[in-house]
């Protein structure tokens, strides 16, 4: 028994290792190929993205709320782990009957090819990295298992001999170099550093000093680019070549227009301070951020194109074919909906849409904040549906009035005595009139408000508090300038945004 186990291990481990190495060699070669053509067609990325798109909405919701931005590394890791298990099996098979192992490798890469072709903007050339993966993978497998010779060694190789181990190590180094080169080229191709943004024709007022100067625990009035939340369906951030990028306006328009990045930079730009929120933000959650956006008012572009009489929707498409739909009336009702090229004085970071994105104040990001924007199509809801609409999310989703306690943190332990309860509140397009705090279910007490930036911006708040000993429950609610009180009725993020009142338990001792 023990003997048989030992033999199984002695033949199984080198076999599995050979299969994994051959697969990694294929993936590395494919990654390099994709880096030179389109990084999104790299097999790991295309399979991962397909998995994201096929994931049912509730599971996605759960992943975003439990893993946050780590949902993607976790997904990429699982796809990778699964692939390597199959690769190991292919190696063990190849060792006994080479064609069988090779066939399993080809099936694996064919899945990647199918995933690359399933993307909305796919062209037939997108299959090339998968084909490269298949060829390099099978060749490496043949190299490792030396099928050409009918000698006895061929039936048993590779062995854990010095030569066998050296050979495998050489393949592993080649995998590292080739895969690394692919990743390096992918990153070097985004030349964010070369963009010099012009000044806005209409500049925003300097931001007032925020409450964070006084109470360091309160969220800063302005969110830096590196701290800004990120939510999207992408596994890897698209790399857009700014020079060849363009924005097209088509559909129900008098004349179809196309703008280059330079065209946009030469237009009359405006700067607006706007707070963005994700529909997946739970009450008290962190998927919210406030920035200064630089861009062209959407009306400037729509006026040039001349909108027809039928359209009721702006369907925006990103460089990878992902779509978001926005009610057309929101573009013309006076709010600062804009086509954005700058964020806090810099070009858009790649994670936030380089080179261009939409920002629509007052509605959640999934219906008005398309990143990596490349097309605006004037159409109707009857005619065309966007990504989230197909997944049953709301088509028009105004941001609900809400508020968050930043300090003290949930389950914090404080010393008794003078402290402050503080945080942020928001009701984009309507503004915050009051914020009230309730301690241990008592009366709602008005908090002090921080400076008002504009109606589309969040408002900081604080309430000085002499904390007595004991366990306490703190709650907060906001009221809009047009009189709506934040409801205590709970709603989940799906389908149109969470509601309810945050409750934070703390200990004073
Ligand atoms: N192309 C593209 N744009 C997108 C998304 C996406 O998945 N793909 N997600 C949207 C969602 S749900 C939100 S909340 C915002 C988030 O923008 P941020 O990542 O810059 O904060 O982008 C929106 N724009
Ligand atoms: Mo979102």
| Secondary structure in 3-state letters for 209-265 | CCHHHCCCCCCCCCCCHHHCCCCCCCCCCCCCCCCCCEEEEEECECCCEEEEHHHHH
- pLDDT confidence tier of residue 1, bands split at 50, 70 and 90: low
Q: What residue's CA is closest to ligand 1, atom 12?
A: 366
Ligand nearest to the CA of 229: 1
Question: Residue 117 and residue 226: Cα distance in Å, rounded?
Answer: 33
Give 91 Cα–ligand 1 centroid separation in angstroms. 41
Tokens of 156: 């048993």
CB 17 within 8 A of CB 167: no
Q: Which atom of ligand 1 is nearest to the CA of 230?
A: 19
Give 354 Cα–ligand 1 centroid separation in angstroms. 12
Q: What residue's CA is closest to ligand 1, atom 4?
A: 370
Q: What residue's CA is closest to ligand 1, atom 15?
A: 365
**What are the beta bridge partners of residue 503?**
475
Give 493 Cα–ligand 2 centroid separation in angstroms. 10
C-alpha triplet 143, 149, 154: angle, nearest 5°: 70
CB 487 within 8 A of CB 499: yes
Question: Residue 497: what pLDDT?
Answer: 96
Q: What residue's CA is closest to ligand 1, atom 16?
A: 231
Tokens of 37: 């053509």
- Looking from the CA of 198 toward its CB, the CA atoms found within 13 Å total 15
List the chain domain ranges.
2-190, 211-390, 402-508
Phi-psi region of 21 (alpha: psi -120 to 50; beta: other; left: phi over 0): alpha
pLDDT at position 157 over 90: no
Across 114-118, 222-226, 356-360, the highest mean pLDDT is recorded for 356-360
**C-alpha 353, offset from chain centre:** 10
Q: Which atom of ligand 1 is nearest to the CA of 371?
A: 3
Question: Residue 145 and residue 91: Cα distance in Å, rounded?
Answer: 9
Q: What residue's CA is closest to ligand 1, atom 19?
A: 230
**29 in helix, strand or coil?**
helix
Give 281 Cα–ligand 2 centroid separation in angstroms. 8
Question: Residue 149: what pLDDT?
Answer: 42
Ligand nearest to the CA of 289: 1
Question: Residue 41: what pLDDT?
Answer: 85
Per CATH, the number for 211-390 is 3.90.420.10
Q: Which CATH class is domain 402-508?
A: mainly beta
Q: Is the pTM of this model over 0.85?
A: no
Higher pLDDT, 170 or 299: 299
Give 170 Cα–ligand 1 centroid separation in angstroms. 42
Tokens of 197: 């943004």
Q: What residue's CA is closest to ligand 1, atom 6?
A: 232
Ligand nearest to the CA of 237: 1
- Ligand 1 binding pocket mutation candidate from 223, 347, 365 (most atoms within 8 A of CB): 365
Question: Residue 293 and residue 347: Cα distance in Å, rounded?
Answer: 10
| Residues at CB less than 6 angstroms from ligand 1 | 228-233, 276, 278, 318, 322, 352, 365-366, 369-372
**What are the beta bridge partners of residue 339?**
296, 358
Q: Which atom of ligand 1 is nearest to the CA of 276?
A: 21
Ligand nearest to the CA of 344: 1
Give 318 Cα–ligand 1 centroid separation in angstroms. 10
For the chain, the residue count is 509
Pairing of strands 338-343, 432-439: unpaired
Ligand nearest to the CA of 320: 1
**C-alpha 221, offset from chain centre:** 23
Question: Residue 161: what pLDDT?
Answer: 66
**What are the beta bridge partners of residue 505?**
473
Give 95 Cα–ligand 2 centroid separation in angstroms. 48
For 110-126, b/e burial (b = at least 16 CB within 10 A) is: ebbbebbeebeebeeeb
Share of the chain above pLDDT 70, in %: 94
Higher pLDDT, 155 or 495: 495
Tokens of 122: 């796919």
Question: Residue 488 and residue 480: Cα distance in Å, rounded?
Answer: 15
**What are the beta bridge partners of residue 248?**
258, 375
C-alpha triplet 410, 411, 413: angle, nearest 5°: 120
**What are the beta bridge partners of residue 414?**
508
- Ligand 1 binding pocket mutation candidate from 65, 68, 225, 231 (most atoms within 8 A of CB): 231
Question: Residue 150: what pLDDT?
Answer: 41
- Ligand 1 binding pocket mutation candidate from 61, 229, 232 (most atoms within 8 A of CB): 232
Give 163 Cα–ligand 2 centroid separation in angstroms. 54
Question: Residue 53: what pLDDT?
Answer: 75
- Ligand 1 binding pocket mutation candidate from 371, 375, 493 (most atoms within 8 A of CB): 371
Share of the chain above pLDDT 90, in %: 65
pLDDT at position 17 over 50: yes
Q: Which atom of ligand 1 is nearest to the CA of 234?
A: 7
Ligand nearest to the CA of 368: 1
Give 5 Cα–ligand 1 centroid separation in angstroms. 52
Question: Residue 256 and residue 309: Cα distance in Å, rounded?
Answer: 15
Other beta carbons within 10 Å of 485: 14
The closest of 30, 160, 44 to 95, measured between CA atoms, is 160
Task: Flag the least confident range among 101-110, 151-160, 327-336, 489-498.
Answer: 151-160
**477 in helix, strand or coil?**
strand
Mean pLDDT of 263-276: 97
């Amino acid at each position: 028994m023990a003997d048989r186990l030992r033999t199984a291990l002695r033949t199984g481990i080198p076999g599995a290792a050979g299969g994994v190495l051959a697969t990694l060699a294929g993936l590395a070669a494919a990654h390099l190929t994709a880096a030179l053509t389109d990084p999104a067609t790299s097999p790991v990325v295309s399979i991962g993205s397909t998995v994201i798109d096929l994931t049912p909405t509730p599971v996605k919701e759960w992943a975003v709320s439990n893993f946050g931005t780590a949902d993607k590394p976790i997904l990429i890791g699982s796809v990778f782990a699964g692939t390597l298990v199959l690769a190991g099996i292919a190696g063990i098979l190849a060792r006994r009957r080479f064609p069988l192992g090779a066939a399993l490798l080809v099936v694996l890469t064919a899945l990647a090819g199918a995933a690359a072709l399933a993307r909305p903007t796919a062209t037939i050339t997108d299959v090339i990295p998968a084909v490269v993966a298949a060829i390099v993978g099978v060749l490496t497998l043949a190299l490792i298992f030396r099928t050409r010779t009918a000698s006895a060694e061929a039936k048993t190789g590779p062995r854990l001999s010095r030569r066998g181990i050296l050979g495998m190590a050489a393949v592993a180094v080649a995998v590292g170099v080739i895969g690394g080169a692919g990743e390096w080229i992918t990153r070097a191709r985004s030349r964010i550093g070369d963009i010099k943004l012009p000044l806005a024709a209409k500049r925003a007022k300097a931001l007032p000093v925020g409450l964070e100067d006084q109470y360091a625990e309160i969220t800063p009035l302005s969110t830096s680019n590196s701290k800004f939340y990120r939510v999207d369906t992408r596994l890897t951030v698209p790399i857009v070549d700014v020079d060849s990028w363009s924005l097209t306006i088509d559909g129900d328009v008098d004349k179809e227009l196309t703008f280059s990045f330079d065209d946009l930079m030469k237009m009359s730009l405006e700067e607006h301070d706007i707070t963005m929120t994700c529909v997946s933000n739970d009450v008290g959650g962190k998927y919210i951020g406030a920035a200064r956006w630089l861009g062209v008012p959407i009306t400037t572009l729509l006026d040039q194109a001349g909108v027809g009489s039928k359209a009721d929707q702006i369907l925006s498409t990103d460089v990878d074919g992902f779509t978001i739909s926005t009610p057309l009336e929101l573009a013309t009702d006076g709010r600062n909906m804009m086509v954005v090229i700058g964020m806090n004085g810099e070009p858009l970071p790649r994670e936030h849409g380089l080179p261009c994105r939409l920002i629509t104040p007052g509605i959640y990001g999934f219906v008005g904040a398309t990143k990596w924007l490349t097309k605006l199509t004037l159409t109707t809801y009857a005619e065309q549906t966007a990504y989230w609409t197909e997944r049953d999310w709301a088509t028009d989703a105004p941001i609900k009035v809400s508020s968050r306690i930043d300090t003290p943190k949930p389950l914090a332990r404080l010393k008794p005595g003078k402290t402050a309860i503080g945080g942020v509140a928001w009701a984009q397009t309507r503004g915050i009139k009051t914020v009230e705090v309730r301690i241990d279910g008592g009366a709602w007490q008005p908090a002090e408000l921080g400076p008002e930036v504009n109606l589309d911006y969040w408002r900081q708040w604080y309430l000085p508090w002499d904390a007595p000993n004991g366990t306490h429950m703190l709650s907060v609610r906001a009221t809009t300038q047009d009189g709506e009180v934040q409801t205590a009725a709970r709603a989940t993020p799906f389908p149109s945004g969470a509601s309810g009142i945050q409750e934070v338990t703390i200990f004073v001792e």
